[in-house]
Amino acid sequence: MRLINRMKMFEQKYVFLRWATGAEYGKITYVGEDYVEFNIIDVDTMEYRETVMINSQLILEAVFGGADISRIIAEISSSLPDANV
């Protein structure tokens, strides 16, 4: 199975992504055959810093779990408005 096919299962998920010229934490917003749209998160402020379009052939590594990803999900979840208010 190709990496790009596997990544389609993780659209709208938080990941660590390494590509030819960089590596960042963020959220995969779209996975296509020719590019991946990736929203980069500033890990200090937990806000989206920028959106990048990465050629899918340049992606070297994608990490979908682990302590850092869990921390990012927890911090973003805690900043969401309370549904009971």
Using one digit for the tens of pLDDT, what is the confidence trace for 15-25?
999 999 999 99
pLDDT of residue 37: 97
pLDDT over threshold 80, residue 64: yes
Strand order of the sheet with strand 35-42?
Answer: 47-55, 35-42, 22-31, 14-19, 59-63
Residue 47: other Cβ atoms inside 10 A? 10
> Based on the number of CB atoms within 10 Å of its own CB, is 20 exposed (0-12), middle (13-18) or buried (19 or more)?
exposed
* Angle subtended at Cα 10 by Cα 6 and Cα 15, rounded to the nearest 5 degrees: 110
Binning pLDDT at 50, 70 and 90, where does residue 34 land? very high
Give the pLDDT mean for 1-21: 89
pLDDT of residue 85: 57
Single pTM value for the model: 0.79
pLDDT of residue 1: 65
Kindly list the structural domains of the chain, giving each domain's residue range(s) and its CATH number in brackets, ordered by start: 3-78 (2.30.30.100)
Measured CA to CA, the distance from residue 6 to residue 11 in angstroms comes to 10
